Chains A and B, each alone.
Chain A
Amino acid sequence: MVPRKHKGLLYNVWRWRAFFVLMLPAIVVLLINNYIPMLGAVIAFKNIKYSYPGFIRNLLESPWVGFRNFEFLFKSGSSWLITRNTLLYNFTFMVIGTILAVFFAIMINEVTNKRVAKVYQNIIFLPYFISYVGIASCVYAFLSYDSGLVNRTILPMLGLEPVDWYSQPKYWPLILNVVCQWKWAGYNSVMYLAAISGIDQTYYEAAIIDGASHWQRIRYITLPMLKPFIIIINLLALGRIFYSDFGLFFQTTMNSGMLYPSTIVIDTYVYNAMATTGDFGMSAAAGLYQALIGFVLVLSANSLVRKISPDNAIF
């Protein structure tokens, strides 16, 4: 074959024109969806006005305000609240989620009747398919003040007074954790199950011959073999720790303002600031704060992943 590397750029573009045609639609969509908004992040430093026709022109000609939008954000007191909530929720979701998923995966793997194991797996996977709107209805069926199952059946049985759940922030860290695990436990355990079935069976056979008990095999084979996988999944989650599952915080809380002290996260804050107060500058600042720290976290997480297992790094 003729060596290609000595040919020029234009030659290569022409030589591979078919590939450019193939990639074109995806590139256009990514430009509109991802890249133009990245340029638009300058809104955080501007007092955006719509005096001109055309988005780009407005972007260029609106006056600069420096860091004033950020000043507002960090002085309003909400920056601490939304950061704290976002980090604490994601952290607890991650820790509890990993424990549950690994636990379920190992337990399902222990069920000897494979058909029964499939049934269990399918049932715990089901909630993943339900949208957060549907989940909000499920939660409401439990927590409605007048007729919810908790207030009408469970609390009276325990001899307790009914609680107005949708206006009491203190209960929501628990509620949101339960809902989050309910939705994701099955999905996550499928991934760990895949990893478990990838473990070389000869380890177990050798262990059985050596007389290892069930518990010992889980403790000394399954868990150590899963460890790199667990670390990688969690590092990747760590990179996303500034972002939240918007539906969880928006739908299940019914976006109730009274719950904000314990339920508002950066994502819902940015949405509310934009949609209800129309404060584009400050919500853009909050969004950029989120994106920048998120960017740094993803990069660090990825380089850590690459150190542990180059195969699993995203790039």
Chain B
Amino acid sequence: MKKKYSAALDRSPPWARRVTHVLFAFVCVACLFPILLVFAISISDEATIAQHGYEIIPRMLSSRSYEYVLSDFQQIMRGYMVSITITVIGTVLGTLITAMIAYPLSRTDFPFRRHFTFFVAFTMLFNGGLVPWYLVYVKMLGAKNTIIPLIMPLLINGFNVIILRTFISANIHPAIIESAIIDGAGELQIFFKMVLPLSVTGLAAVALLVSLNYWNDWYNALLFIDTKKLFPLQFLMYRVNISIQVLNTSSFIPDAAANARTRLPNETARMAMSILGIGPIVLAYPFLQKYFVRGLTLGSVKG
């Protein structure tokens, strides 16, 4: 339908098309430039930077910043492991329990539907604020420096429940469920054998949104984690941004001659750490983005 209008029936005047492309070329550069700049700095030589400042095209290449950062290979690897662990566990559990509450809320014959919808929706309206929330985790659950506050806060949110509920009621006709009941299937059986497989698109969209939240999370670590063992990658990156000293770089002994000429690669190492943190998501991006777009439009067309 759309193609018919925009391509066949009508084309905009050539000058307008040219202006559009120039504009988007500019916008695209603006979007990519900062990331490329960080990358360029990370592979630049520290002494040259001290002389000329950060530049998008490195004057002198150097791998010292990566050697420096990766000299604490253990800490970086641990950061990756923590991030991967919480992302996997959080995404699987979060999507599952979101679906487990979204499905009952989608069933019009479930008599408590309105009550529990309110129970979920109210969390989107009102909250106790940061302080009581923090104290519940620290004082009540005693969860400081455990993996619990890295996972639980992002497990479920009202919006995802509502999105998934709407998806299920729009995509699974009540007649299918009714016929399953007549065939003697139990409610749990219906959920796991029918509803989940039929909702894969909606589940995937929610899972992607949730997984990005986990992967990019540093806030919960900022509040609840002091032990380096449990630093997720993004939080490690934040700590390095504040002070490069967080990395245990004593194992890296620069040779005396090089040290006389150059400072330790503080500035470039910071950027190298950022690239190690940003890298995976940017690399995965081309493969993931179309599912994200689908997920977003799923949520917005009828929220």
Let me know if A40 and B267 touch, CB within 8 A.
Answer: no
- For residue A54, which residues in chain B have a CB less than 8 angstroms away from its CB? 140
Let me know if A26 and B161 touch, CB within 8 A.
Answer: yes
Query: Quick check: is B80 within 8 A (CB to CB) of the other chain?
Result: no
- For residue A246, which residues in chain B have a CB less than 8 angstroms away from its CB? 219
- How many residues on the A side are at the interface (Cβ–Cβ under 8 A)? 109
List A251-283 residues whose CB lies under 8 Å from chain B: 251, 254, 267, 270-271, 274-275, 280, 283
- For residue B242, which residues in chain A have a CB less than 8 angstroms away from its CB? 254
List B101-148 residues whose CB lies under 8 Å from chain A: 101, 103-104, 107, 110-112, 116-121, 123-136, 139-141
Q: How far is the CA of A194 from the CA of B152 in the complex (A)?
A: 32
Question: Do A141 and B104 contact each other (CB < 8 Å), given the known contacts A23-B116, A131-B216, A291-B128?
Answer: no
Let me know if B277 and A134 touch, CB within 8 A.
Answer: yes
Let me know if B155 and A29 touch, CB within 8 A.
Answer: yes
Question: Do A283 and B277 contact each other (CB < 8 Å), given the known contacts A34-B123, A43-B135?
Answer: no
Let me know if A137 and B97 touch, CB within 8 A.
Answer: no
A197 — nearest CB in chain B belongs to which residue? B2
Q: How far is the CA of A134 from the CA of B35 in the complex (A)?
A: 9
Query: Quick check: is B253 within 8 A (CB to CB) of the other chain?
Result: no
- Contact of B296 (CB < 8 Å), options: A12, A135, A187, A280: A187
Question: Do A30 and B127 contact each other (CB < 8 Å), given the known contacts A186-B31, A194-B297?
Answer: no
Query: Quick check: is B303 within 8 A (CB to CB) of the other chain?
Result: yes
Is chain A's binding surface mostly helix, strand, loop or mixed?
helix
List B241-297 residues whose CB lies under 8 Å from chain A: 241-242, 267, 270-271, 274, 277-278, 281-282, 285-286, 289, 292-293, 296-297
Question: Do A191 and B297 contact each other (CB < 8 Å), given the known contacts A19-B110, A130-B281, A149-B53?
Answer: yes
Q: How far is the CA of A129 from the CA of B110 in the complex (A)?
A: 38
Query: Quick check: is B188 within 8 A (CB to CB) of the other chain?
Result: yes
The listed residue with most B CB atoms (<10 A of its CB), out of A29, A114, A254, is: A29
Question: Do A137 and B274 contact each other (CB < 8 Å), given the known contacts A22-B103, A29-B155, A149-B53?
Answer: yes
Query: Quick check: is A142 within 8 A (CB to CB) of the other chain?
Result: yes
Let me know if A147 and B53 touch, CB within 8 A.
Answer: yes
- For residue A191, which residues in chain B have a CB less than 8 angstroms away from its CB? 296-297, 300
Question: Do A205 and B28 contact each other (CB < 8 Å), given the known contacts A29-B152, A37-B128, A40-B136?
Answer: no
Query: Quick check: is B234 within 8 A (CB to CB) of the other chain?
Result: yes
- For residue B140, which residues in chain A have a CB less than 8 angstroms away from its CB? 36, 54-56
Query: Quick check: is A304 within 8 A (CB to CB) of the other chain?
Result: no
List B176-215 residues whose CB lies under 8 Å from chain A: 186-188, 191, 212, 215
> Which A residues have a C-beta under 8 Å from some C-beta of B?
4, 12, 16, 18-19, 21-23, 25-27, 29-30, 32-41, 43-44, 48, 50, 54-56, 58, 104, 107-112, 114, 116, 120-127, 129-142, 144, 146-149, 151-153, 182, 186-187, 190-191, 194-195, 197-198, 201, 204-205, 208, 214, 246-247, 251, 254, 267, 270-271, 274-275, 280, 283-284, 286-288, 290-291, 294-295, 298-299, 311-312, 314-315
> Which B residues have a C-beta under 8 Å from some C-beta of A?
1-7, 9-13, 16-17, 20-21, 23-24, 27-28, 30-32, 34-35, 37-38, 41, 49-50, 52-56, 97-98, 100-101, 103-104, 107, 110-112, 116-121, 123-136, 139-141, 152-153, 155-156, 161-162, 186-188, 191, 212, 215-219, 223, 234-235, 237-238, 241-242, 267, 270-271, 274, 277-278, 281-282, 285-286, 289, 292-293, 296-297, 300-303
Q: List 13 A-B contacts (CB under 8 A).
A: A4-B111, A26-B98, A30-B156, A34-B127, A35-B123, A37-B127, A132-B216, A133-B234, A138-B274, A147-B53, A182-B31, A198-B301, A291-B129
Of all A-B residue pairs in the complex, the 5 with the closest CB atoms, nearest first, are A287-B129, A40-B132, A152-B53, A37-B128, A18-B187
